[in-house]
Amino acid sequence: MITIRKSDSRFKADRGWLKSAFTFSFADYDDPAHAGFRSLRVMNEDRISPGKGFGPHAHRDMEIITYVLEGKLLHRDSMSGPHTMGPNEIQTMSAGNGVVHSEFNASQTEPVHLVQIWIEPSAEDLPPSYQQVAVEPSAKRGRLHLLAGPADSRQMPATTINQDARLYVSELAAGEAVSQELASGRHAWVQVVRGEASLNGQPLHEGDGASVSGEPRIEVTGGAAGGEILLFDLA
Amino acid sequence: MAQTVVVVTFYSRGGTTERVATAAAVGAVQARAGIRMRRLADADPAATIQRYPEAQESLTRMHREYVPPREADLLAADALIVGLPDGMTPASAECSGYFDMLARLGADGRLAGKAAAAVGSGATVDAIAGALSAAGLTVVTGDPRSTGDGTEAAIALGRRVVAAAESQRRAPS
């Protein structure tokens, strides 16, 4: 079964310097019908004005993954930093038993556009960690590139997370397709972060997401102008 | 019991006291508290940068990243952690407004039942702890710089102040 969460149906928040679209419940937005999917808890699309950002605040027991679409993000945390990241990089912070961090637009002139993802960890009180890895653009063109996954994945993930969940990215030209077998009992989430795509023949537009359950195989095909998708393989 | 709230307030120019205050905040988070980080404001931020050019980068960043503590923060807190650099005291220009507010709320009995801790070193910690105690807060002692660069001890102090705050909240009034 495929259930689509349309871009327009996401909760929109506008704080002036920050424009967000929440696929799932987040902060003051609490919707039991969209509280997450499997271990995927948060899927936020943020646009942060130049020089602005989130001041130091804390997290605990959450795998927090950031994927920048445009612009530069400046990260600091209680373990290390500062770190600046941009497109074609993946940032994975395991909050573990406690971390304090800040995220700011690194530019004083250009906005930063990003996707922030939270995945519930398999256990509480784990040691916190920070990983930031560059992704070769060719590695995601026309194929699924594993951005994050558990350390025991058959394919080495760019960054490791403490959950039986795998996050892939793929950039697809018009008509180009990638496919993924879903093992029995596994589920998937597909999020279109750029352009358009179709999921097992169902059209998805930028900002749309879709849950997949009970399907043995999924195929994602680039739309008329191509597209970039995040695919989550979830327990 | 609702989540314990710890407000961590510090003054820093080069980032050293910020690091120790952040470590104390991490300790509070490890103890499952919610935290707010606040930096005491410079009266004239541009003049401070001009006076301490070696700290320009960290001052510029901290001016952007932090807001100063407000009365609502103190009232919302179950525990306060306060950190100052060596040589500063509650009477220093950047700090006096905050400690005056603390003394006023304490005199009105509005800080009763809250726990507190000071981070820093030596005479600075003693001066902060004295002001917190005089405002009616239950001060948890400890020297966050007793080992290494002080971060491990500050983490431990953050955990202890949450335990003290929760003990006070559970105690019959």
Residue to mutate among A59, A75, A78, with most B CBs inside 10 A, is A78
Average pLDDT of chain B is 93
* pLDDT tens-digit series, residues A180-216: 999 999 999 999 999 999 999 999 999 999 999 999 9
Q: Which two tokens stand for residue A206?
A: 């930028």
**Cross-chain Cβ contact B26/A56 below 8 Å:** no
Interface contact A98-B34, CB threshold 8 A:
no
Look up residue A120 and give its amino acid. E
Across the strands, what pairs with B33?
Answer: none
**Rounded to a whole number, what is the distance in angstroms from the first to the last CA of chain B?**
15
Q: Does A58 touch chain B (CB under 8 A)?
A: yes
List the single range of A11-20, A69-78, A112-121, B134-143 with lowest mean pLDDT: B134-143
Rounded CA gap, A130 and A142, in Å?
28
Residue at token pair 């967000």: A20
Q: Is A106 helix (H, G, I), strand (E, B) or coil?
A: coil
Torsion of CA B14, A90, A105, A47, to 10 degrees: -150
Q: Any bridge partners for residue A70, and if so which?
A: A113
CB contact A201 to B (< 8 Å):
no
> Is some CB atom of chain B closer than 8 A to the CB atom of A15?
no
The size of the A-B interface in CB pairs under 8 A is 43
Inspect the interface and report whether the beta carbons of A98 and B22 lie closer than 8 Å: no
Phi–psi pair at A73, nearest 5 degrees: -115, 135
State how far the Cα of B83 lies from the Cα of B81, in Å rounded to an integer.
7
Cα dihedral value A14, A20, A24, A29, nearest 10? -20
Q: Residue A129 forms beta bridges with which residues?
A: A94
Q: Sorting pLDDT into bands at 50, 70 and 90, what band is B1? A: confident
The per-residue DSSP string of chain B comes to -PPPEEEEEE--SSSHHHHHHHHHHHHHHHTT-EEEEEEPPPSSHHHHHHH-GGGHHHHHHHHHH-----HHHHHH-SEEEEE--TT--TTSTTTHHHHHHHHHHHHTTTTTT-EEEEES-HHHHHHHHHHHHHTT-EEPP--TTSSTTSHHHHHHHHHHHHHHHHHHHHS--
Res B143 pLDDT > 80: no
What is the pLDDT averaged over residues B114-140? 94
pLDDT band at B41, cuts 50/70/90?
very high
Q: Residue B26 and residue A98: Cβ atoms within 8 Å?
A: yes
Q: Do A100 and B29 touch (CB under 8 A)?
A: yes
Question: Would the pLDDT of B134 be above 50?
Answer: yes
Q: What is the mean pLDDT of chain A?
A: 97
pLDDT tens digit sequence for B86-98: 999 999 999 999 9
Digit-coded pLDDT (tens) for B144-170: 445 556 899 999 999 999 999 999 988
pLDDT digits (tens, 9 = 90+) for A142-154: 999 999 999 987 8
Percent of chain A, pLDDT > 90? 97
Instruction: For residue range A11-54, list pLDDT tens digits in order.
Output: 999 999 999 999 999 999 999 999 999 999 999 999 999 999 99
Nearest to A63 by CA among A5, A156, A149: A149
Answer yes or no: do B65 and A98 touch at CB < 8 A.
Answer: no
Inter-chain contact A100–B67, Cβ cutoff 8 Å? no
Name the residue among A55, A78, A102 with its Cβ closest to that of B26.
A78
Residue A123 to residues A35, A83, A126, A199, B51, Cα–Cα distance (Å) = 20, 27, 7, 32, 48
- d(Cα B13, Cα B18) in Å, to the nearest integer? 8
ipTM of the complex: 0.92
Q: Are strands A177-181 and A217-234 parallel, antiparallel or unpaired?
A: antiparallel
Chain-chain contact of A56 with B66 (C-beta, under 8 angstroms): yes
Chain A residues inside the 8 Å CB shell of B66: 55-56
Q: What is the pLDDT of residue A119?
A: 98
Q: Smallest CA–CA separation between A51 and chain B, in Å?
A: 8
pLDDT tier, A84 (very low <50, low <70, confident <90, very high otherwise)? very high
Q: Which chain B residue's Cα is nearest to A54?
A: B65
CB within 8 Å: A78 and B25: yes
Residues in A closer than 8 angstroms to B152, CB to CB, are none
Give, to the nearest 10 degrees, the angle between helix B16-30 and helix B151-170: 50
Contacts of B67 in chain A (CB under 8 A): 55
pLDDT score recorded for residue A114: 98
Task: Give pLDDT, residue A7.
Answer: 98
Mean pLDDT of B36-59: 96
A78–B23 C-beta distance less than 8 A? yes
For B95-128, give one letter per residue: b (16+ CB within 10 A) or e: beebbebbbebbeeeebeebbbbbbbbeebbebb
Structural contact between residues A77 and A145, judged by C-beta atoms closer than 8 angstroms:
no
Give the predicted TM-score (pTM) of the model.
0.94
Residue B69 reports pLDDT greater than 70: yes
Q: Report which residue type is found at B5.
A: V
> How far is the CA of A1 from the CAs of A24, A31, A202, B104, in angstroms?
19, 21, 12, 62
